[in-house]
Amino acid sequence: MTSTDTTADSQANPSSYPLIQSELAGLLKGERDWLVNLANTSALLQLRLPGLSWVGFYLWRGGELVLGPFQGKPACVRIQRGRGVCGTAAARRTSLVVPDVHQFPGHIACDPAAASELVVPLEFDGRQFGVLDLDAPVKEWFDASDREGLEAVVRILLQGTNWPENIGEPVPPA
Protein backbone atom coordinates (compact mmCIF):
# COMPACT_ATOMS: atom_id res chain seq x y z
CA MET A 1 0.00 0.00 0.00
CA THR A 2 2.61 2.53 -0.89
CA SER A 3 1.65 5.95 -2.12
CA THR A 4 4.06 5.47 -5.01
CA ASP A 5 2.29 2.37 -6.24
CA THR A 6 0.33 3.30 -9.32
CA THR A 7 -1.47 0.08 -10.19
CA ALA A 8 -5.12 0.46 -9.32
CA ASP A 9 -5.75 -3.01 -7.99
CA SER A 10 -2.57 -3.42 -5.97
CA GLN A 11 -2.94 -0.29 -3.93
CA ALA A 12 -4.44 -0.39 -0.54
CA ASN A 13 -6.74 2.49 -0.03
CA PRO A 14 -6.25 4.15 3.34
CA SER A 15 -9.91 5.10 3.27
CA SER A 16 -10.78 1.40 3.58
CA TYR A 17 -9.81 1.48 7.27
CA PRO A 18 -12.89 3.36 8.53
CA LEU A 19 -15.05 0.76 6.75
CA ILE A 20 -13.02 -2.11 8.24
CA GLN A 21 -13.26 -0.56 11.71
CA SER A 22 -17.02 -0.15 11.47
CA GLU A 23 -17.47 -3.67 10.08
CA LEU A 24 -15.33 -5.07 12.88
CA ALA A 25 -17.38 -3.23 15.51
CA GLY A 26 -20.47 -4.85 13.95
CA LEU A 27 -18.90 -8.32 13.97
CA LEU A 28 -17.92 -7.98 17.62
CA LYS A 29 -21.29 -6.71 18.78
CA GLY A 30 -22.70 -9.12 21.34
CA GLU A 31 -19.69 -11.45 21.15
CA ARG A 32 -16.66 -11.25 23.47
CA ASP A 33 -15.07 -14.68 23.00
CA TRP A 34 -11.37 -14.34 22.07
CA LEU A 35 -11.29 -17.22 19.58
CA VAL A 36 -14.42 -16.08 17.75
CA ASN A 37 -13.28 -12.47 17.59
CA LEU A 38 -9.71 -13.17 16.45
CA ALA A 39 -10.94 -15.59 13.80
CA ASN A 40 -13.40 -13.07 12.41
CA THR A 41 -10.87 -10.22 12.58
CA SER A 42 -8.33 -12.16 10.52
CA ALA A 43 -11.03 -13.09 7.98
CA LEU A 44 -12.22 -9.48 7.71
CA LEU A 45 -8.68 -8.17 7.14
CA GLN A 46 -8.02 -10.82 4.50
CA LEU A 47 -11.28 -9.87 2.79
CA ARG A 48 -10.83 -6.11 2.86
CA LEU A 49 -7.07 -5.52 2.52
CA PRO A 50 -5.62 -6.23 -0.93
CA GLY A 51 -2.31 -7.94 -1.55
CA LEU A 52 -1.81 -9.89 1.67
CA SER A 53 -0.16 -13.30 1.65
CA TRP A 54 -0.85 -13.90 5.36
CA VAL A 55 -2.71 -12.22 8.19
CA GLY A 56 -3.24 -13.52 11.68
CA PHE A 57 -2.28 -13.67 15.32
CA TYR A 58 0.46 -15.02 17.55
CA LEU A 59 -0.55 -15.22 21.21
CA TRP A 60 1.44 -15.42 24.45
CA ARG A 61 0.97 -18.89 25.88
CA GLY A 62 3.46 -20.36 28.33
CA GLY A 63 6.12 -17.73 27.63
CA GLU A 64 6.11 -18.13 23.83
CA LEU A 65 4.20 -16.55 20.97
CA VAL A 66 2.04 -19.39 19.68
CA LEU A 67 0.16 -19.42 16.37
CA GLY A 68 -3.45 -18.30 16.67
CA PRO A 69 -6.31 -17.68 14.21
CA PHE A 70 -5.06 -16.69 10.76
CA GLN A 71 -5.73 -16.62 7.02
CA GLY A 72 -3.08 -17.86 4.61
CA LYS A 73 -0.68 -20.76 4.24
CA PRO A 74 0.29 -22.92 7.23
CA ALA A 75 2.81 -20.95 9.29
CA CYS A 76 5.54 -21.22 11.92
CA VAL A 77 3.95 -22.36 15.17
CA ARG A 78 6.07 -20.89 17.99
CA ILE A 79 8.16 -17.72 18.16
CA GLN A 80 10.44 -16.86 21.08
CA ARG A 81 10.46 -13.47 22.78
CA GLY A 82 12.65 -11.02 20.87
CA ARG A 83 12.92 -13.31 17.81
CA GLY A 84 11.77 -12.41 14.30
CA VAL A 85 9.62 -9.41 13.50
CA CYS A 86 6.81 -10.66 15.74
CA GLY A 87 8.95 -11.31 18.81
CA THR A 88 10.81 -8.02 18.32
CA ALA A 89 7.61 -5.94 18.06
CA ALA A 90 6.27 -7.69 21.16
CA ALA A 91 9.47 -7.13 23.15
CA ARG A 92 9.73 -3.47 22.10
CA ARG A 93 5.98 -2.98 22.67
CA THR A 94 5.62 -1.08 19.42
CA SER A 95 4.29 -1.65 15.92
CA LEU A 96 6.90 -2.48 13.28
CA VAL A 97 6.59 -1.74 9.57
CA VAL A 98 9.26 -3.74 7.72
CA PRO A 99 9.60 -2.65 4.08
CA ASP A 100 11.97 -5.51 3.16
CA VAL A 101 11.97 -8.54 5.44
CA HIS A 102 15.28 -9.73 4.02
CA GLN A 103 16.93 -6.67 5.54
CA PHE A 104 15.47 -7.37 9.00
CA PRO A 105 18.00 -9.24 11.17
CA GLY A 106 16.45 -12.45 12.45
CA HIS A 107 13.34 -12.34 10.29
CA ILE A 108 11.58 -15.70 10.44
CA ALA A 109 10.70 -16.82 6.92
CA CYS A 110 7.59 -18.95 7.30
CA ASP A 111 6.74 -18.24 3.67
CA PRO A 112 9.68 -17.64 1.33
CA ALA A 113 7.45 -15.41 -0.82
CA ALA A 114 6.91 -12.85 1.95
CA ALA A 115 8.68 -9.57 1.15
CA SER A 116 7.27 -7.02 3.59
CA GLU A 117 5.58 -7.23 6.98
CA LEU A 118 3.64 -5.23 9.55
CA VAL A 119 3.27 -6.31 13.18
CA VAL A 120 1.07 -4.65 15.82
CA PRO A 121 1.29 -5.73 19.48
CA LEU A 122 -1.98 -6.53 21.25
CA GLU A 123 -1.90 -4.58 24.49
CA PHE A 124 -4.82 -3.64 26.69
CA ASP A 125 -5.28 -2.82 30.33
CA GLY A 126 -1.79 -3.77 31.44
CA ARG A 127 -1.54 -7.02 29.49
CA GLN A 128 0.06 -7.99 26.21
CA PHE A 129 -1.87 -10.82 24.57
CA GLY A 130 0.34 -11.27 21.51
CA VAL A 131 0.64 -9.66 18.09
CA LEU A 132 -1.28 -9.11 14.87
CA ASP A 133 0.99 -10.00 11.91
CA LEU A 134 0.48 -9.18 8.23
CA ASP A 135 2.70 -10.31 5.33
CA ALA A 136 2.75 -9.20 1.69
CA PRO A 137 4.70 -10.67 -1.25
CA VAL A 138 5.69 -7.17 -2.42
CA LYS A 139 8.35 -4.96 -0.82
CA GLU A 140 7.24 -1.71 0.83
CA TRP A 141 3.59 -2.79 0.81
CA PHE A 142 2.76 -1.31 4.19
CA ASP A 143 3.13 2.28 5.28
CA ALA A 144 2.25 4.55 8.19
CA SER A 145 -1.40 4.73 7.16
CA ASP A 146 -1.63 0.95 7.43
CA ARG A 147 0.05 1.00 10.82
CA GLU A 148 -2.38 3.62 12.11
CA GLY A 149 -5.40 1.89 10.58
CA LEU A 150 -4.45 -1.46 12.02
CA GLU A 151 -3.60 -0.05 15.44
CA ALA A 152 -7.18 1.30 15.49
CA VAL A 153 -8.49 -2.11 14.40
CA VAL A 154 -6.56 -3.71 17.27
CA ARG A 155 -8.00 -1.23 19.79
CA ILE A 156 -11.55 -2.11 18.68
CA LEU A 157 -10.73 -5.82 18.88
CA LEU A 158 -9.22 -5.57 22.36
CA GLN A 159 -12.00 -3.41 23.77
CA GLY A 160 -14.53 -6.00 22.60
CA THR A 161 -12.81 -9.20 23.70
CA ASN A 162 -12.48 -11.26 26.88
CA TRP A 163 -9.40 -13.45 27.30
CA PRO A 164 -8.75 -16.64 29.24
CA GLU A 165 -6.18 -16.46 32.04
CA ASN A 166 -3.65 -18.59 30.15
CA ILE A 167 -3.25 -16.15 27.25
CA GLY A 168 -1.20 -12.97 27.67
CA GLU A 169 1.41 -11.55 29.98
CA PRO A 170 1.49 -8.52 32.24
CA VAL A 171 3.41 -5.54 30.92
CA PRO A 172 5.07 -2.86 33.02
CA PRO A 173 3.24 0.49 33.05
CA ALA A 174 4.18 2.56 29.99
What residues line the site for ligand SME (CB under 6 A)? 54, 75-76, 79, 84-86, 107-108, 110, 114, 117, 133, 135
Residue whose CB is nearest to ligand SME in the complex, by number? 84
Between 98 and 157, CB nearer to ligand SME: 98
CB of 114 to ligand SME, least distance (A): 6
Task: State which residue, 61 or 107, has the beta carbon closest to ligand SME.
Answer: 107
Residue 14, Cβ density class (10 Å: 0-12 exposed, 13-18 middle, ≥19 buried): middle
Distance CA 90, CA 126 (A): 14
The C-alpha atoms of residue 91 and residue 94 are separated, in whole angstroms, by 8
Closest contact distance (angstroms) between CB of 30 and ligand SME is: 30
Minimum CB separation from ligand SME for residue 25, in Å? Answer: 26
| Cβ at position 140, least distance to ligand SME in Å | 16
Measured from the CB atom, the residue of 117 and 146 that comes closer to ligand SME is 117
